[in-house]
A and B are shown apart, each in its own frame.
Chain A
Amino acid sequence: MNVSRFDLWLGLPLAAVALLLPFTGPSDFLLNLATLVMIWAIFAIGFDFVFGLLGMVSFGHASFLGLGGYALALATQLWGLPFSAGLGLAIVAGALCAWLFSFFALRVSGIFFALVTLALSQLLYILADSKLRAWTGGADGLPGVERPGLGGIDFFDSTHFYWYVVAVFALVMAAVAVLRRSPFGRVIAGIRQNETRAEQLGFDVHRYKQITFIVSGAISGLAGALLASLLMYVNPQMLHWTTSGDVIIMTLLGGAGTLWGPVVGVLAFEVLKEWLSGWTQYWYGLLGLVFILATLFFPKGIVGELQERFGQWQDKAARRDGRSS
């Protein structure tokens, strides 16, 4: 039960910052950065379903993110659907794409899983960039992606859109926290720890992996739609493998397999990026250096490391109480 108390202990300050930020009179730049962090955090949380919970490295999550973005853009611009329908479609698009990928990718494991997902997602990127130009706008992308329309609120206002994303983010976080503690989540953790044992007990391991992959794709699709909405723009870069690479780095930096790890990872990544890029054009290289140092000194990521310290501290406290009583 230590871990859930830890999640609360870490989550409450983060939630407080998120809720108080709009009242501190922030600049549009800061609000948009915070919105971007939350959207990427949703993506990283979705990614970590496969990466942290199932222990499989997917190098193709850019596909689900990008498809989500395009689904929203096309639904609202081409078919004139309302924003909420577009958001729903983005979730479905991410899930469907993950489902299709799973037929090829789940036949293999380890590095081959990473390679198959990479190949499939690059295929999608190239298609979006060239053959499907009529739909995707090619390298130019699709400008003018919608913002939500809800009860006459102007979501082109940064503060309003910020609150919209806060609400979605909170919903996703709550859903993920519940799923991790659910009987289903326990089986997924079991499969990561000992696949053979889970299978021999009677769990259809392949099916569980597939479902997890699809849920992961759905969350990534949602993030993609929100990202396109924030930027009011979508282009094939969202489908590019570097996007998949970034989410891996963020998740590892924050701590794969922990509830808040992906969120903290995205936060650290984006803040470092803003800071370093204002300082030098070689920020990506410096970020790489930070990442290498982090994997050397915090192999479990920032949150993973904190969680371990917290557990040790609790154990020590419990032992001390035990002795005194």
Chain B
Amino acid sequence: MSDIALKCDGVTVSYGALKAIDGVSHSFEQGRIYGLIGPNGAGKTTLLNVLAGRQMRHSGSIHCFGADITRTPPHERAHLGIGRSFQITKIFAEMTVLDNLRIAAQIKHSRFQPFWIAPRYERRLAGDIDAMLELTGLTARRDDIAGTLSYGLQRALELGITLMPDPRILLLDEPLAGVGQHEIESSTRLIKAVSAGRTVLLIEHNMDAIMSLSEEIVVMSNGRVIAVGAPEQIRNDATVRSVYLGEDAS
């Protein structure tokens, strides 16, 4: 197995004359946590969409553990081990927390879903669901309708859903966005815990969080990767400071 988890080669996404991503080539090594930063419109979310298969209209190629997945649809990429959370929470809002995790557990256990009531199958799911409730701290809210949870808890649930199939690669789009101040610390700890042993691409505007979580920072601007390096290196990079932090380079 290749120790490159994800690799993009000359990926360009154009909307008419606008290039959302402009010739991005980068390899993401297995088991490392990457922080993706850059100003709004830099192309960070578009890049995650390309990697997850939501944005299929692009030039260039995508490889996952050495296999070409450029034309692989999103649900197949999920089976290759790519998990994705979204900037705007995507959960099954009208279902209970339990059922949200149950659906996620179903895809982990079987590609075939019985269309009869299957108590044995449900029991096999139960262990995974309980573990995930515990991990995300949602055990007490298991019977609540997901859409009625606080935003921070919804983000925790989304992370739980994303993690359930045990993805090798995690694409997290602003997991802390909208999370209340008092929940940031626990959420950061949760992300740190679940990142262990996985390749993680993390978009986040909370600088403290992303600098402490990431092992490597990828800086994007105007659809291009303009700098790559360790967090402390990026913090002191003059170009990055001018582009991203809005400071004068001088």
- Chain A residues in the interface with B (C-beta under 8 A): 178-179, 181-187, 189-190, 193-194, 196-205
Contact = CB atoms under 8 A, between A and B. Distances in A.
A184 B114 contact: yes
13 contacts: A182-B116, A187-B103, A187-B106, A190-B103, A194-B92, A196-B86, A197-B86, A199-B74, A200-B75, A200-B84, A201-B161, A202-B78, A202-B165
B210 interface: no
A201 B103 contact: yes
A39 B91 CA distance: 37
B75 A183 contact: no
Interface stretch (B21-29, B93-101, B194-202, B231-239): B93-101
Contacts of A200: 52, 54, 74-75, 78, 83-84, 90
Interface in B100-122: 102-104, 106-107, 113-118, 121-122
Across the A-B interface, give the 5 residue pairs with the lowest CB-CB distance, nearest first: A202-B78, A184-B115, A197-B90, A184-B113, A183-B113
Most chain B beta-carbon contacts within 10 A, residue among A178, A182, A196, A197? A197
Contacts of B78: 199-202
Contacts of A184: 113-115
Contacts of A205: 75
A198 B161 CA distance: 10
Given A183-B121, A193-B93, A202 B107 contact: yes
A196 B90 contact: yes
A193 B113 contact: no
B142 to A, nearest CB: 13
B57 interface: no
B90 A186 contact: no
Contacts of B107: 201-203
Given A197-B161, A200-B74, A201-B165, A178 B116 contact: yes
B79 interface: yes
Given A193-B93, A200-B78, A186 B161 contact: no
B172 to A, nearest CB: 12
B203 to A, nearest CB: 16
A181 B93 contact: no
A205 B83 CA distance: 16
Contacts of B118: 182-183
Interface string B68-80: 0000001110110
B174 to A, nearest CB: 16
A7 to B, nearest CB: 14
B90 A182 contact: no
